[in-house]
């Protein structure tokens, strides 16, 4: 009898805990989603509107051409091809996307974060120096030199980078744990915002001479 009561209490507690666990709001899939009372001017909700499943086709789950090298003739010497829900509509609500990154010799994918995704990267060719930095107050740097076949994890939200150490091209593929991982490139967000952040703010924040801030704001 006592055993039965204990079991019942445990079962009720478990049910309560699991109902609390599933009572949270869904994670955001974009930077923000301002509420509307009428839907006349709605663009999208958290994620996208869903197609009637009866109308779905294999092409909704398909992309072709990821084997082709991308053009890396830009200032950074890198090129990211992201296959998110905008490229493959069948990814909607599935918490996953894919990226190919091409690097010219000494090409850089500069410090950036994905606010909504952990990234799992595998090097297909070349040699990459990669790293991420933990949040405050430690700001610990974790780095690794990766060769073909090596895999590295960039935890969600942390600032990270990939740099081609070699004299040859490098190529990597990443899985990302969101249909829309989001991308914040640190230098662009800070020095290239539109409109610009006040130079007074940046001068103090980065302990820089105002001329340097003005220079950086022109660069980005
Ligand atoms: C918007 O609201 C109207 C009226 O409530 C409804 O008929 C229509 O299907 C809605 N459109 C979408 C895209 O939800
Ligand atoms: C990336 O490569 C594609 C195809 O080669 C090209 O169209 C695009 O402009 C490149 N992007 C950058 C940032 O260089």
**Nearest to 182, CA basis, from 102, 86, 69, 62:** 86
Residue 26 has pLDDT above 90, yes or no: no
Indicate the number of domains in the chain: 2
Asked whether 196 and 147 are in contact (CB, 8 A), the reply is no
- CA 140 – ligand 2 centroid, Å: 33
pLDDT confidence of residue 54? 86
Q: What contacts 54, CB < 8 A, 6 or more positions away?
A: none
Partners of residue 161 on adjacent β-strands:
131
Residues 113 and 160 in one domain: yes
Q: What's the CA gap between 42 and 23, in Å, rounded? A: 26
Instruction: Please give the DSSP secondary-structure letter assigned to residue 50.
Output: P
Q: Kindly state if the Cβ of 66 falls inside 6 Å of ligand 2.
A: no
Q: Are residues 102 and 202 in the same domain?
A: no
pLDDT at residue 92 tops 80: yes
Q: Do 122 and 215 have their domain in common?
A: no
Distance CA 79, CA 204 (A): 33
| pLDDT score at 17 | 44
Mean pLDDT of 153-163: 98
CATH code, domain with 169: 2.60.120.10
Checking if the pLDDT of 122 tops 50, the result is yes
* 71 shares its domain with 172: yes
At residue 112, does pLDDT exceed 90?
A: yes
Is the residue at 106 inside a domain? yes
Q: Is residue 97 in some structural domain?
A: yes
Q: Is ligand 2 within 6 A of the CB of residue 70?
A: yes
215 located within any domain: yes
Mean pLDDT of 195-210: 96
- Residue 91 is predicted with a pLDDT of 92
Question: Does the residue 146 lie in any domain?
Answer: yes
Residue range of the domain that includes 113: 59-182
DSSP 76-104: TSEEEEEE-TTT-GGGTTS--EEEEEEE-
Give the model's pLDDT for residue 32: 75
Q: Are residues 71 and 111 in the same domain?
A: yes
- Is residue 45 in some structural domain? no
Residues in the chain: 220
- Ligand 2, atom 10: closest residue by C-alpha: 71
Least-confidence region, from 42-56, 164-178, 196-210: 42-56
For the ranges 16-25, 51-60, 102-111, 178-187, the lowest mean pLDDT is seen at 16-25
- Looking at residue 20, what is its pLDDT? 46
Q: What mean pLDDT comes out for the span 142-164?
A: 98
- Tokens matching residue 178: 């969101």
The mean pLDDT of 32-54, rounded to a whole number, is 69
Q: Are residues 190 and 134 in the same domain?
A: no
Give me the pLDDT at residue 14, please.
Answer: 47
Q: Are residues 176 and 196 in the same domain?
A: no
- Pairing between β-strand 159-164 and β-strand 119-125 as defined by DSSP bridges: unpaired
Is the residue at 115 inside a domain?
yes
Q: What are phi and psi of 105, to 5 degrees?
A: -50, 130
Distance between CA atoms of residues 172 and 121, nearest Å: 7
Whether 84 maps to a domain, the answer reads yes
- pLDDT, residue 41, reads 62
| Residue 11 host element (H or E) | helix 2-21
What pTM does this model have?
A: 0.81
Residue 82 tokens read as 């992201």
Q: How many CB atoms neighbour CB 180 within 10 A?
A: 23
Q: What percent of the chain has pLDDT over 90?
A: 73
Is 6 assigned a ligand-binding role in the annotation? no
Looking at the structure, do residues 72 and 171 belong to the same domain, yes or no?
yes
Q: Using a 6 Å cutoff on CB, does residue 78 contact ligand 2?
A: no
Q: What is the pLDDT of residue 40?
A: 66
């Amino acid at each position: 009898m006592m055993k039965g009561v204990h079991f019942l209490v445990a079962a009720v507690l478990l049910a309560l805990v699991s109902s609390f666990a599933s009572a949270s709001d869904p994670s955001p899939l974009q930077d923000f989603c301002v509420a509307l009372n009428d839907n006349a001017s709605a663009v999208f909700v958290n994620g996208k509107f869903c197609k009637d499943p009866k109308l779905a086709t294999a092409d909704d789950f398909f992309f072709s051409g990821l084997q082709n090298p991308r053009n890396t003739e830009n200032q950074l010497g890198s090129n990211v091809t992201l296959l998110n829900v905008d490229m493959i509509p069948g990814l909607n609500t599935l918490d996953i996307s894919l990226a190919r990154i091409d690097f010219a010799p000494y090409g850089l994918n500069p410090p950036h974060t994905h606010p909504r995704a952990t990234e799992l990267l595998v090097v297909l060719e070349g040699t990459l120096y990669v790293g991420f930095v933990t949040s405050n107050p430690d700001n610990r740097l974790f780095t690794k030199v990766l060769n073909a076949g090596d895999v590295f994890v960039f935890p969600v939200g942390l600032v990270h980078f990939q740099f081609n150490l070699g004299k040859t091209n490098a190529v990597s593929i990443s899985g990302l744990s969101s249909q829309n991982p989001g991308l914040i490139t640190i230098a662009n967000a800070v020095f290239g915002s539109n409109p610009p952040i006040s130079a007074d703010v940046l001068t103090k924040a980065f302990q820089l001479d105002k001329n340097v801030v003005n220079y950086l704001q022109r660069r980005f």
